[in-house]
Amino acid sequence: MTGLFPLLLPGVLRGREKQNNERVQHNLDNAMTHLTFLGATGQVTGSCYLLDTGAFRLLLDCGQFQGSKETEKQNFADFGFNPADIDAVILSHAHLDHCGRLPKLVKEGFKGPVYLTQASFALVELMLRDAANLQLRDTEWENKRRERAGKKLLEPLFTLDDVEKLMVLRSPLAYDEETEILPGIGLSFHEAGHILGSAIVRLRINKDGRTRTLVFSGDLGNPESPLLRDPAVLTEADVLLLESTYGDRDHKPLSNTLDELRDTLREADRSGGNVIIPAFAVGRTQDLIYWLGKIKRQGGLPQQQIYLDSPMAISASKIYAEHVHLFNIDDPEFTRIASTGWEAWLPGLIFSETPEESMAINRIAGGVIIIAGSGMCTGGRIRHHLKYNLWRRNAHIIFSGYQAEGTLGRIIVDGKRTYVKILGAEINMAAQVHTLGALSAHADQSQLLKWANHFKSSRPRVYLIHGEKSAALSLQTCFRRMGWNVDVPKEGDRITL
């Protein structure tokens, strides 16, 4: 046996060396904090980022992918991690592209707390209950077709039961107060100005006597927003995750946009057509109601009836009215009226809640304003109103928000087709289409650069997320001209803090 030892020794040593290297790498990994980009990279939706400190694993957002059918298939894919291993989720705000896969996370084993702002508490429940009901309805409809064709039946992404299990995990925090959510990890939320309850996330990670600060912008609001406060100014970070939805352009001046809105309303009144406005139920709808009320008070709103045809938007508007203390508007009349009811602020506003009421609107050939979801025309009642109005030459379609690639809204805005298919029917695109960028709830290129420039004393390493590739690359070029170290990550990329 001893004669074989010299022959075995190199193999034994190599085996021990490999074990030692693996042990060293494991210890190094545990000594470092890593961030993995799992969504909203190269696209606007699907916000999800995994933070691994070695001791704890956290998620920043867990949102749905929205857009084309191929894009939305990503919602059903594996997370790429074990949901049961996640210690906590930190939610920036209640839009579905940020919170829409949370019930799926719970369904697959997550049991930790979900930290969110106090104002997001009710909105998240509203959004996810509605999403669960829509998925159940759509899945039942699709399964009837599949059953007749002898195909495998589908399951919804999540159910109302999954939403209920998630609701008990919500843990609301106030703005501007740091809380130690796990040993050595401090979390604070700061006003993002995007929708009610939206937050800039700041994490301070204390490890081995050193502190690393990560700031996640979430969706950074447009300072021209009529209701919400401007995004909070932060000045220190080691790593900054910054949205880039409008990273390649600036919005039109607000005054010009409001003039265009008034002109469109007058033109529609003269031609006798309807005005159709696809709007996100949370945020955009409330801004629109405010501006239409303001225009009416100035004598520039000829339409006497304005239909809000969205049960979720109606509920969200009531939640907004309960939080007027978070508004940043120097208009005592508005804050007094809005807290009692939006109909008083905008005379002629009609809440359309039931399917029967919605179908009755489709029989109106002209002369009214119809606000309905979804904002990108991917579902909801807006598709019915487009079906009945898009082919009318005297109709006007007003887009007031971002339209993701692959959505029906984007197809209409691009105007490259003569017809589109809506609810099984081919519809000629004859209506006049308008895009009012200044009403967007996202900061534009100049606003993003101005906000980031407050990090003067210690410029963080910047990663541009939440933007289509062209928008992110355009913003990256602007930052690099200013001497910043900026990257555009791809899905699956992992960085070390």
The CATH class that applies to domain 35-249+448-496 reads alpha beta
Mean pLDDT for 202-212 is 94
Tell me, what's the pLDDT at 23?
A: 43
Q: What average pLDDT score do residues 214-237 get?
A: 94
pLDDT in tens, 165-200: 999 999 999 999 999 999 999 999 999 999 999 999
pLDDT at 339 over 80: no
Model pLDDT for residues 260-304, shown as the tens digit of each residue: 999 999 999 999 999 999 998 999 999 999 999 999 999 999 999
Cβ atoms of 196 and 283 closer than 8 Å: yes
pTM: 0.88
Higher pLDDT, 195 or 326: 195
Of 71-80, 313-322, 337-346, 368-377, which range is least confident? 337-346
Is beta strand 239-243 parallel, antiparallel or unpaired with respect to 210-216? parallel
Domain locations in the chain as residue ranges: 35-249+448-496, 254-439
Quick one: angle between helices 160-167 and 120-149, nearest 10? 160
The domain made up of 254-439 is a member of CATH 3.40.1550.10: no
291 contacts: CB under 8 Å, gap ≥ 6: 226, 258, 261, 439
Cis peptide before 47 (omega within 30 of 0): no
Residue 51 confidence (pLDDT) = 98
Whether 209 contacts 130, CB under 8 Å: no
Q: For the segment 20-33, what is each residue's pLDDT rounded down to a tens digit?
A: 454 444 444 566 89
Q: Provide the pLDDT for residue 344.
A: 87
Per-residue pLDDT for 14 more than 60? no
Q: Please state, in angstroms and rounded to a whole number, the distance separating the CA atoms of residues 293 and 474.
A: 37
Q: What is the pLDDT of residue 18?
A: 52
User: Mind listing the pLDDT tens digit for each residue in 378-436?
Assistant: 888 999 999 999 999 999 999 988 888 889 999 999 998 899 999 889 999 999 999 98
